């Protein structure tokens, strides 16, 4: 097992309420490992586009099999 730091940019769909945002973020982070700590570091709204972009920084506990998957997904 390892601890790793990742940065993600996610689309925040307009139909997703702020109350469901935590579940939405965690559902994406769990694909890479077990979230130990995470934060929303920025929110970007584009004029004329209804969705927003959120930037996430996270520290994850990763088993060896998932570590290889993360490298492939982020590159």
Domains, the chain, in order of start with CATH, read 2-74 (3.30.70.380)
What value, to the nearest 5°, has the Cα angle with vertex 49 and ends 9 and 19? 60
Q: Provide the whole-model pTM.
A: 0.77
Q: What integer pLDDT is reported at residue 25 of this predicted model?
A: 97
Q: Is 45 helix (H, G, I), strand (E, B) or coil?
A: strand
pLDDT score, position 42: 96
Strand partners, 52: 12, 45
Which single residue is written with the structure tokens 């939405």? 24
Q: What is the pLDDT of residues 24-75, one digit of tens each?
A: 999 999 999 999 999 999 999 876 667 789 999 999 998 876 555 655 666 5
- Report the distance separating Cα 67 and Cα 55, nearest Å: 21
Write down the residue that tokens 């584009």 correspond to. 46
Give the tokens for residue 27.
């559902």
52 SS3 class: strand
């Amino acid at each position: 097992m390892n601890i790793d730091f990742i940065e993600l940019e996610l689309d925040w769909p307009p139909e997703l309420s702020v109350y469901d945002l935590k579940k939405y973020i965690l559902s994406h982070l769990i694909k890479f490992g077990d979230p130990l700590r995470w934060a929303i570091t920025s929110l970007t709204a584009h004029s004329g586009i209804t969705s927003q972009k959120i930037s996430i920084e996270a520290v994850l506990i990763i088993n060896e099999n998932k570590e290889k998957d993360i490298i492939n997904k982020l590159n």
